[in-house]
Amino acid sequence: MKIEGFSSKEGVGSTFEGVVVLEGARTPFGKYTGTLSTVSPTDLGIAASRAVIKKCGVDPTQIDQVVVSNIGQASSDAFFLPRHIGLYSGTRLETPASLVQRICGSGIEVIGQAAEQIALKKANLVLGCGTDTMSRFPLVSFNARQGFPLGRPEYIDLLWEALNDTAAVPMGATADNVAAKYGLSRDEVDRFAFQSQEKYLAAKEKGFYKGEIIAIEEGVFEVSGLTPRKFKLNGAKTLQEDEHPRSTTMEKLGKLPFVFSKTGPTTAGSASGIVDGAAAVLVASEAWASSQGLQPMGKIRAVSTVGVDPKLMGIGPVPAIKSALSALKMGVKDVDAFEINEAFGAQCLGVAKALELDLSKLNQNGGAIAIGHPLGATGLRLVHTLLRTLKIQGKRWGVASACIGGGQGIAMVVEAI
């Protein structure tokens, strides 16, 4: 194993040799206040983690560390979330668990941190998980303990506030700013959104998503010595498919009003869906995987993060991708497939234009406009989907990337095996 760090104005990160992704799995992504809205992010994370462990066929007691991302503290055990995911997934009592948070880039950050732990010989096998039940983001009162005037309690909606960067502008406005910078029209952005939905539906028809989605059934998670965790779905006993994707038309998209500015082009139809879900992967030392007779999906080769102007938050993937590829002495044209989070259609299309991407390589099975964007889970979905796409196509190099609220970008380079 080998790790080399790099740091410059263009990005901060690491390159790796000998670190692999064994497998991945995710829950269906449930629509806002839909079937999964009654399930805590902890339980969604346990479901995804148990699924990837079973899928890979490893003994969970072999897991050395657990790394989890969760953005909205949407359960009463939120402080214990990573530890509970580890314990109820069957890891040893001695296996430590930690929480990471880089907002929309958290899932990629999870895999990057797992890779670093392995490269530093602090683990052979790491469970990485990302989870958010966005429907359960709470209403909060920060000052209730100090009291409030009669009849004037102060509460805010954390889900709504999460869409606003108080240092700059609301998230959607940053997409409109990117559209203005790169001269993107309403028609271009709507067409990109339409194609995201169409590509998802085509991929689903071909059975692509059966390779990564595991059904969620209400029930109880039980582990000897621990209190059982019972959970129920909203209006159903099971969920097997993503709930947010929909069939639409350019005409329908064209009738939607602008959301964040008078001139747009961002509408509800060209923004990522607010959804509930979790995803998990197993990251390992290549040598350890070989000793166990396991066949990895691919290698983690580089990860990079960088800050950008908060008003142009959505452009973050551009310098992050350039930085990660540069560390490997590669360029955009060397990459066979890209999974770039569609936080907003204008944002993702702006990134593609800035990098001069071949759009046929981008989000080939649909993106977050169709699937949705459960903040802590998205990055893990991107990397897993990317590796599956490369394997199916017999291609080698892939890049997963996301913009990050507040003005950052993150990118990971993977190599299929």
* Catalytic annotation present for 129: no
* Catalytic annotation present for 104: yes
Check: CB of residue 178 under 8 Å from CB of residue 350: yes
For 174: left if phi > 0, alpha if psi spans -120 to 50, otherwise beta; the answer is: alpha
Residue 359: how many other CB atoms lie within 10 Å: 13
Check: CB of residue 67 under 8 Å from CB of residue 126: yes
Instruction: Count Cα neighbours of 180 within 13 Å in the Cβ-side half-sphere.
Output: 12
Q: Which of 56, 129, 348, 403 is catalytic?
A: 403
Cα 255 → chain centroid: 30
For residue 384, what are its two tokens? 């897993």
Q: Which of 56, 104, 129, 348 is catalytic?
A: 104
Count the helices and strands in the chain (H runs, E runs): 12, 18
Query: d(Cα 322, Cα 313) in Å, to the nearest integer?
Result: 16
What's the angle, vertex CA 39, arms to CA 35 and CA 45, rounded to 5? 115
Query: d(Cα 117, Cα 99) in Å, to the nearest integer?
Result: 14
- Residue 99's identity, in one-letter code, is L
Check: CB of residue 201 under 8 Å from CB of residue 245: yes
Cα 323 → chain centroid: 20
Active-site positions?
A: 104, 403
